[in-house]
Structure 1
Amino acid sequence: MVTKKSSASFFLILAFAFATCAHVIAESHLHSIVDPRANSSDQTQIYIVHVLPPSNNIELLGAHELEQYHLSFLPNTTLDSGEPRLIYSYRYAVSGFAARLTPGEVETMEDTDGFISAHPNRIHRLGTTYTPTFLGLLQYDGIWYKTQGAGVIVGVVDSGISENHVSFDDDGMSPPPLKWRGCCQFKGACNPYVPTICNNKLIGAQNFFPFQTPTDKSGHGSHTASTAAGNIVSGAEVRGHADGTASGMAPRAHVASYKSCSDSRGCPTITLVKAIEKAISDGVDVLSLSIDDEPAKLDLNDIAIATFTAMEKGIFTSACAGNAKEPIRKVVGNEAPWILTVGASTTDRRVIATVKLDNGMEFYGETAYPLELASSTGMVPLVYPGAVADTTQRLGCLKGSLDDLDVTGKIVLCGIGVSLPHEKAEVVKAAGGAGIILLNQKWNGYTTESDSLAIPSVMLTNTDALKLVDYTTTTTDPKGAINFEGTKMGHRPAPAVASLSATGPNPNNGGIIKPDILGPGINILAAWNKQVGPNPTGPDERAFNFGSGCSMATPHLAGVAALLMSAHPDWSPAMVKSAIMTTARTVDKDGNKIVDERSPDMSPATFFLMGAGQVNPSAAYDPGLVYDIQPDDYIRYLCGLGFPDQRVSKITKHRISCIQSGKISAEQLNYPSITVPLNSAQEKTIYRQVTNVGEATSTYTAQVVEPDGVRAEVSPARLQFTQIKEQKMFTVKFTPDRSQPKSGEYSEGFLYWNSDDGQYKVASPISVKF
């Protein structure tokens, strides 16, 4: 047996080590976070409420009148988070409605005349990509009832595509737009007149590597393409988990695949740039780049340079903020202001496995071990190799590290990192282990992932990992079991910033807040190139898998952009970005601030982690006001960064004279977020212009949540519009409100433009750097 002292020494010595935090979250609070079955009288749930029909003939009621009748049963129309309580008003299937309520509110409703009964919503067949439901696309006022992306072409620059996958069938799809100039390269040369297997959904597929085809061999490209614009596919699941209907964000958009990431050699810059160039030439409307770009000055960043041209052509680019699974959080990449930079967030769905110890303790984690094989392991001995020798090899269950240990028939505890989970599972399996428990490091925090591994498995949060390691290293005969509980909804808090999501600020863009937005990026179910897990069965044409990272978040936003461009073909890419950012949610499903899962105490996320917040597609459809940016504005911004004419010309691909074009500082770019450098001896005024895309005749009033230590004054404080596309200028003057701010400190606030009719709340995050 190893003592606590010797076990703790490993954590301090190894680069791979856990944090030795002595103050763990109280058990009651822990279960409120990780136990999806936890319930309380104040936790909001979805209920189906049965009521007597109104006294007059329901057939004669219009939709508005019926909705008002159902609203009369509710305590109010919205939750604290701003979400509408009413989800559906039913007319024929039942007399009643679906709404978000707490058990206590349902109990109060029982005394209301006309109330019959209410019961919590049951999950029969889950939405498997699930994020269309999680993001509200299917609500009664959701964007899918207005558009599903028809006529828009999404170009996916990735590892290729599985051309025969059901997510890319073309049933019901219209032909591609006449502007489409791409081709399908599966059968040789890229010649549009050669018969191919592309169709009206997958309208193009090209490869940029010798001796390869556009076919996806890794699964990544198929996953991202189907997340952005895959078909609605029933019966999708991962080895029996999350069984239901899968769909991309824009299921009626067209897909063009550009294989710029090799099956074995990664994603060379030259192929990435070539793919983007070809996509621009082919006529795509949206680019989805799940590329983990390293921060670099904009004139040295080929992706930034390539996508500048895309922006000039009216093409919207969604790109990955970056993944950070190491002790030091990665600095956000893809930071150019003409790119929508996407961070990764969680959802409220979990595929649950529990670790139960022989002392009665239980820990909830995640898995995707095949449901048909997922019987309990039974109570068997636990082994923690990290306690046997002071080596990274042991702690991480790396190849060869278990050769001299007896793990036969035992569950092995393995630290996350260095090798992939499936590689660790193979090592444990080869050594005779009965199961594997994957232990999050401090920097993995509370973010867990679902993997279909070779043996029974579960991944635990860092907080639970520390408790389990302590039990295993201080108990004479530690024993435990892995029990599989299937797919559960209602995890809290959700959404939250995933521990792997990269952070700003980025030093290369003048301080503009990045990432711009959060999109779902953890345990996203989407198309895969082949069946996964042990003893795979079923056709590869129906293979799905869970994926996690900003790679999964990025196509969500590409798909949302496709929806908006389909609905508003006259909007510029900057207008689309503004609509997404100014309507984002900064609170979770329970109305609390979005938190960071890497932080040990689940502290609120800063703007440099979440940008404007979690994407809210249906609100982005009708944002009221937008901030537009023209290509010439970006040129003045580049000149203002101090680039000489030649370097600006390198980005724009045409000759630029900064003397002629003029210069603006980064904070003066007409961006939807505001970042202002400020010192105690100055005040600063920034300029913005908004374009009316809401009601023609409308008035907006400014509301400022001032950053700590700063006074902010908006002029004019009211904006009046009389027509669509009318533009109005305003200024915000920032004055320091304390004499000695700490150098390098950031302070956050918000600027809201609220319409007088209450329909619109146009939000801009403010970050002041002292």
Structure 2
Amino acid sequence: MVETTVKWLFFFFFFFSPLSVFGHGEAEIREKKTYVVHMDKTAMPESYSDHIEWYSSMIKSVVSETHVEEETRILYTYQKVFHGVAARLSKEEAGRLEQESGVVAVIPERRYELHTTRSPTFLGLERRDSENTVWEEKLMDHDVIVGVLDTGIWPESQSFNDTGMSPVPATWRGACETGRGFTKNHCNRKIVGARVFYKGYEAATGKIDEQLEYKSPRDRDGHGTHTAATVAGSPVRGANLLGYAYGTARGMAPRARIAAYKVCWVGGCFSSDILSAVDRAVADGVHVLSISLGGGISTYYRDSLSIAAFGAMEMGVFVSCSAGNGGPDPISLTNVSPWITTVGASTMDRDFPATVNLGSGRTVRGVSLYKGTTVLSKNRQYPLVYMGSNASSPDPSSFCLDGALDRRHVAGKIVICDRGVTPRVQKGQVVREAGGIGMILTNTATNGEELVADCHLLPAVAVGEKEGKMIKQYAMTSRRPTANLQILGTRLGIKPSPVVAAFSSRGPNFLTLEILKPDLVAPGVNILAAWTGDMGPSSLSSDHRRVKFNILSGTSMSCPHVSGVAALIKARHPDWSPAAIKSALLTTAYVHDNNLNPLRDASTGAPSTPYDHGAGHINPLKALDPGLVYDIGPQDYFEFLCTQDLSPSQLKVFSRHSNRICRNTLSGPGDLNYAAISAVFTENTNVSALTLHRTVTNVGPHVSSYKVVVSPFKGASVIVEPKMLNFTSKHQKLSYRITFRTKLRQKRPEFGGLVWRSSTHKVRSPIVVTWLPPL
């Protein structure tokens, strides 16, 4: 099934995948690396007293150096979300271990990367009811605990104040681990747990330099503090970044608890550490996991995070992950497993305007978060320079890379730099070090007209691709080009919004076209949240400014928005499964902006598609009361895996329970009871009809009737049977089938939607119809 559905994508990935490696030398075979070893717990011989003893014996049996104790090889033991160990092995030893009885899989360590206070209001979370109380304060969400896997937490932030919170639930089994800069007193009723995981990182990169980084839950980087505060930060009045975005900052679920699991360090985040954190978090008792990181995808059974998330889902934990920042390229997603909620990024209706005033009299709009000691006079024009050779196509010298600018050419001037290759704020530092007094950061075709604001070290304005080309053309053709930069502060009510961020990773889902990804989008551009006290807002070592809040962009910022809303739903509906919560988020998402037009793609300006925005933009208020949900249990997800041409041994990594076997209840992957619907016609042109099945559960009024409405498609007719669903009780389940008949095979996928309407609810599912090229 997988081979036939993705054959049309094979050429792209075979020639362009960075994961392709050919040949292994002897040194590589002997070199020790970390492997995650999945074990079949039921296969333990009776001669062993416990599983840990058995795991240790298995590792010892394959190691080459008999004088080395097996304990030095084992980094972690996994017991909750799956069974096994992380161990240091040579490639030869890993090969031998994989042949041993009871060993399900031996997967090499993978490195993951981070996907880096207007949003509550923008999302409707500060709406007040007739009693003049914030609506979510009625929720008993004090007992909902969100585990945040990231770079740690800065506990002194006001966002983690626990004033007014009830005692920590007695069911919580977590701990507050200590280390440099972090004591047990740093945990409270808001931060209920804090742990560190670094064994995999140190095994791959060497010992952590404790003078440069905290080997404790304390966050030096800032990313983890920002995401944790976005999930569940307590309200902080007067929050701002150097005067920008002034207002009350608060998380999506401000009365939920936070458990910080530090898995990311200066050199990255490693899968063995991440898996141990997931394993520990589930054992500790978290209800939601927020994971703003990802790595490359290959297959479900080789994706360690996917396997761990499956185990978490089995234990009733909702898992939210960022989609990645690989957009606008297609097929750029990470975290695509159906049991993970995959979150893309969108803009809000707040902006930070700035202008570029050219000597020609032309004024160009852009954005900026600069506030510093260098100030450009409003009434003066400054020399302008562009080091590239072509206004339309950037060349290496135009990116303002470290050491690329000649002081003789840029000192005292405003420098034009093309976006890409290096971080945006780093370009400004390069310009400043070369004597430049300002920077214009121009988008390339990759970013289109999307504007992302940054807290630069010198006056700087970011502009879109079209205006950037015009500015560069002016600089290259005018005898004495000049410009002036004006920074204008904060502006609200931006239209259109939301817009899908250009950087947000896109579908389709390379592994399974029948599972639409991303699942939805949430605010991820210019997000204000708490920040570390150890790093300036630009994250550059040369930035000595210290702020309590920072503004960041990335799907890392959109993921915790969804995690926090999931916590609110869990508080309102504690008995709901992760799939029910996810369904509520998807079926209530909206697909129109504040101009009532279809959501747009920032990279092109054209309407976005479900491959860009999934089911649409998150709508928290609606998600609390979705009317109907598409529920999915662990066995259903396992049945989905049974349609993916996996061998029994490959399936075994997901079946830690001995009774998890294929019952073949699904006719294909498209029959998974997913809230999004993706119909895939195979290469066989003789197949002109395809029927998919869905079951909905009534979580609204006990007695209700829903009528179906389906958008038309050019290439297929669509018939839904029955056309009415009549519910007579709460939690009643009713099924329907949707049949697609090809009228005219299309070269590109078609997009639409299916809506079940009642007098009080609208339950929407996106639809994608794809025709694979004929053989």
Give TM class, smaller chain: 0.7 to 0.9
Q: Which of 580, 583, 590 is 1:585 aligned to?
A: 590
Distance 1:257 1:659 in 2: 36
Q: Determine the C-alpha separation between the residues in 1 that align with 2:718 and 2:553.
A: 39
Show the 5 A alignment for 1:131-142: 131-140=119-128
Could you tell me whether the CA contact under 8 Å between 1:698 and 1:720 is conserved in 2?
Answer: yes
* Secondary structure of the corresponding residue to residue 766 of structure 2: strand
1:542-577 deviation line (CA, Å, top 9, x unaligned) = 611111110000000000100100111111111100
Deviation at 1:651, TM superposition (A): 2.1
Structure 2 gap segments, 5+ residues each: 1-116, 200-207, 209-214
Residue identity in the other structure for 1:457? A
Consecutive unaligned residues of structure 1, counting only runs of 5 or more, are 1-128
CA contact (8 A) 1:649 1:655 kept: no
Determine whether 1:243 maps to 2:246.
yes
Aligned residue identity for 1:532: P
Structure 1 residue 664: Cα displacement: 3.9
Query: Which position in structure 1 is the counterpart of 2:558?
Result: 553
Between the aligned partners of 1:747 and 1:387, the Cα distance in structure 2 is 41
The offset of 1:299, in angstroms, is 0.5
CA distance in structure 1 between the partners assigned to 2:254 and 2:140 by the alignment: 6
What does the per-residue CA deviation read over 1:42-100, in whole Å, with 9 as the maximum and x for residues that have no partner? xxxxxxxxxxxxxxxxxxxxxxxxxxxxxxxxxxxxxxxxxxxxxxxxxxxxxxxxxxx
1:480 aligns with 2:473: no
8 Å contact kept, 1:295–1:506: no
CA, structure 1 residues 319+459, in 2 after alignment: closer, same or farther (shift >3 Å)? same
C-alpha distance in structure 2 between counterparts of 1:566 and 1:588, whole Å: 29
How much has 1:317 moved relative to structure 2? 0.6
**In 1, distance between residues paired with 2:596 and 2:158?**
38
Cα offset for 1:678? 2.1
- Rounded Cα–Cα distance in structure 1 between residues aligned with 2:318 and 2:711: 31
Q: Deviations over 1:175-209 (max 9, x none)?
A: 2222211111134899xxx8432000011111112
Shift of 1:296: 2.1
Distance in 2 (CA, whole Å) between partners of 1:617 and 1:143 is 12
Distance, in Å, in 2 between the alignment partners of 1:716 and 1:290 is 40
Q: Deviations over 1:666-708 (max 9, x none)?
A: 1100000001112653211111100001111110111111332
Instruction: Return the match for 1:628 from 620, 626, 631.
Output: 631
TM-score by length of 1: 0.78
Q: Which residue of 1 aligns with 2:428?
A: 425
The alpha carbon displacement at 1:332 in A equals 1.0
| Structure-2 residue corresponding to 1:71 | none
Aligned-partner Cα distance in 2 for 1:294–1:585: 29
- C-alpha distance in structure 1 between counterparts of 2:566 and 2:639, whole Å: 26
Q: Is the 8 A contact 2:367 2:462 kept in 1?
A: yes
- State the aligned residue count: 628
Among residues 186, 191, 202, which one is paired with 2:191 in the alignment?
202
Residues 117-516 of structure 1: pairs in structure 2 closer than 5 A? 129-140=117-128, 144=136, 146-147=138-139, 149-187=141-179, 195-209=184-198, 212-262=215-265, 264-324=266-326, 328-329=329-330, 331-370=332-371, 376=377, 378-387=380-389, 392-403=395-406, 405-516=408-519
Deviation at 1:374, TM superposition (A): 5.4
Alpha-carbon contact 1:186-1:215 (below 8 Å) kept: no
Alpha-carbon separation, structure 1, partners of 2:704 and 2:660 = 40
3-state SS of the aligned residue for 1:387? coil
Q: Determine helix, strand or coil for the equivalent of 1:688.
A: strand
Matched to 2:642, the amino acid is: C
Does structure 1 residue 765 correspond to structure 2 residue 771? no
Judged with a 3 Å threshold, the aligned counterparts in structure 2 of structure 1 residues 201 and 508 are, in CA distance, closer, same or farther, namely same
CA contact (8 A) 2:354 2:365 kept: yes
CA contact (8 A) 2:627 2:698 kept: yes
SS in 1 for 2:753: strand
State the alpha-carbon separation in 2 of the partners of residues 657 and 140 from structure 1: 47
Is the CA contact (8 Å cut-off) linking 2:244 and 2:490 kept in structure 1? Answer: yes
Q: Output the CA distance in 1 between the equivalents of 2:361 and 2:286.
A: 57
> One-letter code of the match for 1:207?
V
> Contact 1:292–1:323 (CA<8 Å) still a contact in 2?
no
Counting only pairs closer than 5 Å after superposition, residues 511-660 of structure 1 correspond to structure 2 as 511-530=514-533, 531-532=536-537, 543-599=548-604, 602-655=605-658, 658-660=661-663
Contact (CA 8 Å) 1:645, 1:658: kept in 2 or not?
no
Partner of 1:724: 730
Shift of 1:661: 5.6
Q: Which deviates more from structure 2 when the two are superposed, residues 459-468 or residues 399-408?
A: 399-408
Q: Is the 8 A contact 1:293 1:320 kept in 2?
A: no
Letter in 2 for 1:331: S
Contact 1:369 1:453 in 2 (8 A): yes
What's the CA shift for 1:423?
A: 1.7
Residue of structure 2 equivalent to 1:694: 700
Structure 2 Cα separation of the partners of residues 519 and 653 of structure 1: 33
Question: Contact conserved, 1:186 with 1:197, CA < 8 A, in 2?
Answer: no
Q: CA separation in 2, counterparts of 1:174 and 1:375?
A: 51
Measure, in 2, the Cα distance between the counterparts of 1:285 and 1:130: 26
Alpha carbons of structure 1 residues 733 and 158: separation in structure 2 relative to 1, 3 Å:
same
Q: CA deviation at 1:367?
A: 1.1
Q: CA RMSD in A?
A: 2.3
Measured after TM superposition, the shift of residue 373 of structure 1 is 5.9
Question: Structure 2: how far apart are the matches of 1:645 and 1:419?
Answer: 44
Aligned to 1:124: none
How far has the Cα of 1:403 moved from its partner? 2.3
In 2, the alpha carbon distance for the partners of 1:587 and 1:305 equals 35
CA distance in 1, matches of 2:663, 2:331: 38
How many angstroms does 1:742 deviate by?
3.7
Q: TM-score, normalised by structure 2?
A: 0.78
| Alignment map for 1:649-688 (pairs within 5 Å) | 649-655=652-658, 658-660=661-663, 662-678=665-681, 681=686, 682-688=688-694
Specify the code of the residue in structure 2 equivalent to 1:149: D
SS in 2 for 1:545: strand
Contact persistence 1:649–1:656 (CA under 8 A): no
Instruction: Describe the superposition over 1:633-689 as per-residue Cα deviations: whole angstroms up to 9, x where unpaired.
Output: 011110011112221121232346655464441110000000111265321111110
Q: For 2:761 and 2:690, locate their aligned partners in 1 and report how far apart those are by CA, in whole Å.
A: 28
Identity of aligned residues (%): 40
Shift of 1:149: 3.5
Cα distance in structure 2, aligned partners of 1:384 and 1:375: 19
CA distance in 1, matches of 2:637, 2:292: 23
Residues 331 and 510 in structure 2, CA contact (< 8 A), matched pair in contact too = no
SS in 2 for 1:469: helix
Q: Secondary structure at the match of 2:361?
A: coil
Name the CA distance, whole Å, in 2 between partners of 1:663 and 1:509: 15
Please report how far the alpha carbon of residue 342 of structure 1 lies from its aligned counterpart in structure 2 after TM superposition: 0.3
Contact 2:329 2:505 in 1 (8 A): no
Residue 386 of structure 1 contacts residue 395 of structure 1 at CA under 8 Å; is this kept in 2? yes
Query: Is the CA contact (8 Å cut-off) linking 1:684 and 1:733 kept in structure 2?
Result: yes
Q: Aligned partner of 1:316: which letter?
A: F
SS of 2:141's partner is coil
Of 749, 753, 765, which residue of structure 1 is paired with 2:752? Answer: 749
Of 328-337 and 571-580, the range deviating more from structure 2: 328-337
Question: Paired residue for 1:23?
Answer: none
Letter in 1 for 2:284: D
Contact 2:330–2:508 under 8 Å retained in 1: no
Counterpart code for 2:575:
D
Query: CA separation of 1:416/1:567 partners in 2, compared to 1, >3 Å: closer, same or farther?
Result: same
Between the aligned partners of 2:254 and 2:563, the Cα distance in structure 1 is 12
Distance 1:188 1:384 in 2: 46
Deviation at 1:594, TM superposition (A): 0.3
Q: Which amino acid aligns with 2:355?
A: T
CA distance in 2: counterparts of 1:151 and 1:373, whole angstroms: 48
Q: Is contact 1:498–1:522 with CA below 8 Å preserved after alignment?
A: yes
